[in-house]
């Protein structure tokens, strides 16, 4: 799922392309995408984009007349940009489908459409396409009017890039959760998900299962600094990678990450093998050498089966796996 650094780069790219531009037409191809009926979605057509915001992991398009379009990309939603052949002219797709409101467009003849396309936004400068890979269609659009209605879509998490240590400490220790759960709770912290929480905790040298209300003051300071530095660094990395283009490589798995998605690979700091905790569709990656004092955290996929025989160290786990084919 795109997180704070990814959303930040999306917004920077969109500002260069559509801010103060009128939305000439919005074509929605998936009946599951739009989650609101009032105001009617056609109401934003021919209105200018006057603001672009991040709301947690959501992208918010502000239109004239206090209309706000809230886009949640979820796990597999992505944005793509197709430059117009000439500014001030309608895109080929808009011309090909003019007058076809209410009918399915001919995707093969329309630039920007593909089998994964959910919506196409036509602007004078180009075409913005929303796609979602896979069969599960979870991405969503909400259109609301007024700041009060927009605030209902804000989970309320703290803006971690601009917060003080005191604000961070208060949000972190409000409830006694594990660090992994606290960092990824959108009601506590804004924009942090599975990938960057792994990187933050590795940088802070803290266990993902440490309890928030039992952290020392030094550990809280370390986590506050690691949170801000990790996200700031990744925003700059993605900014350099994108340059003047549009972000097309939005992914949670990047070669330069220290632990996220690196199960079984050596930690870049201490060389210990990165381990993981799996639960349902979620996975936490961590370095036992840097974060848990060499201890192995229980992986639910095996520990429930092995119970007391669950290994306590990475070395014991490797020995167990060598004796258990397929593990």
Quote the CA–CA distance of 90 and 123 in Å, as a whole number. Answer: 8
Sheet of strand 126-132: strand arrangement: 25-28, 117-123, 126-132, 77-83
What is the tens place of the pLDDT at every residue in 113-131? 567 899 999 999 999 999 9
**CA 282 from centroid of its chain's CA atoms:** 14
What was the pLDDT predicted at 91? 38
> Are the beta carbons of 62 and 52 closer than 8 angstroms?
yes
Locate tokens 């917004």: which residue?
11
**Dihedral pair phi/psi, residue 41, rounded to 5°:** -65, -30
Query: Does residue 159 lie within any of the structural domains?
Result: no
How far apart are alpha carbons 265 and 262 in whole angstroms? 5
Is the residue at 25 inside a domain? Answer: yes
Q: What whole-number distance in Å separates Cα of residue 109 and Cα of residue 93?
A: 8
Quote the strand ranges of the chain, DSSP E. 25-28, 49-55, 58-63, 67-72, 77-83, 117-123, 126-132, 140-145, 275-279, 282-286
Structure tokens at 33: 């995408």
* Cβ atoms within 10 Å of 285's Cβ, excluding its own: 25
Domain count, the chain: 2
Of the candidates 123, 151, 179, which is a domain's last residue? 151
Residue span of the structural domain in which 222 resides:
165-321
Percent of the chain with pLDDT over 90: 76
Q: Quick one: 92 and 196 in the same domain?
A: no
The answer to whether residues 197 and 308 belong to one domain is yes
Q: Has residue 83 been placed in a domain?
A: yes
Same domain, 89 and 188: no
Stretches in the chain below the pLDDT threshold 50 = 88-110, 302-311, 317
Q: How buried is 94 (Cβ within 10 angstroms: 0-12 exposed, 13-18 middle, 19+ buried)?
A: buried
CATH of the domain at 10: 3.20.190.10
What is the C-alpha separation between 274 and 262, in angstroms, rounded?
Answer: 6
Which residue in the block uniquely carries the two structure tokens 């080929």? 92
- Identify whether 39 is preceded by a cis peptide bond (ω within 30 of 0): yes
- Domain assignment of residue 327, yes or no: no
Tell which residue, 26, 66, 30, has the closest CA to residue 42. Answer: 26
Alpha-carbon distance 28 to 26, whole Å?
6
Distance CA 133, CA 115 (A): 9
| Per-residue tokens: 126 | 């180009």
Task: Mark which of 116, 151, 186 sits at the end of a domain.
Answer: 151
Is 158 part of a structural domain of the chain? no
- What is residue 279's predicted lDDT score, i.e. its pLDDT? 76
Residues 142, 67: Cα–Cα separation, whole Å: 10
Please report, for the domain that includes residue 213, its CATH number. Answer: 1.10.8.50
Which residue among 100, 128, 151 closes a domain?
A: 151
Residue 160 domain-assigned (yes or no): no
- What is the predicted pLDDT for the residue at 136? 83
- Euclidean distance between CA atoms 190 and 183, whole angstroms: 9
CB 111 within 8 A of CB 91: yes
């Amino acid at each position: 799922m795109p997180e704070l650094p990814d959303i930040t780069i999306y917004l920077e790219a969109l500002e260069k392309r559509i801010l103060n531009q009128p939305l000439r037409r919005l074509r929605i191809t998936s009946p599951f995408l739009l989650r609101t009926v009032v105001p009617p979605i056609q109401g934003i057509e021919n209105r200018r984009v006057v603001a672009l915001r991040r709301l947690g992991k959501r992208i918010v398009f502000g239109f004239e007349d206090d209309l706000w379009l809230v886009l949640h990309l979820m796990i597999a939603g992505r944005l793509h940009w197709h430059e117009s052949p000439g500014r001030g002219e309608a895109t080929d797709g808009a011309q090909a489908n003019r007058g076809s409101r209410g009918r399915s467009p001919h995707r093969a003849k329309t630039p920007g459409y593909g089998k994964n396309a959910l919506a196409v936004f036509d602007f004078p400068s180009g075409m913005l396409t929303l796609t979602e890979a896979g069969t599960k269609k979870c991405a969503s659009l909400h259109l609301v009017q007024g700041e009060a209605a927009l605030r209902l879509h804000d989970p309320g998490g703290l803006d971690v890039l601009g917060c003080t240590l005191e604000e961070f400490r208060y949000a972190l220790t409000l409830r006694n959760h594990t660090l992994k759960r606290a960092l990824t709770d959108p009601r506590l912290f804004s924009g942090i998900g599975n990938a960057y929480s792994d990187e933050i905790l590795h940088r802070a040298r803290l266990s993902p299962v440490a309890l928030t209300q039992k952290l020392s003051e030094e550990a809280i300071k370390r986590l506050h600094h690691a949170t801000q530095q990790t996200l700031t660094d990744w925003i700059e990395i993605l900014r350099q990678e994108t340059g003047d283009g549009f972000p097309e490589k939005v992914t949670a798995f990047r070669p330069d990450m220290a632990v996220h998605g690196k199960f079984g690979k050596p930690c870049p700091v201490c060389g210990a093998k990165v381990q993981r905790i799996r639960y349902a569709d979620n996975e936490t990656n961590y370095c036992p050498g840097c974060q848990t004092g060499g201890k192995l955290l229980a992986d639910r996929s095996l520990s429930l089966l092995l119970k007391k025989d669950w290994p306590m160290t990475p070395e014991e786990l490797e020995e167990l796996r060598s004796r258990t084919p397929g593990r």
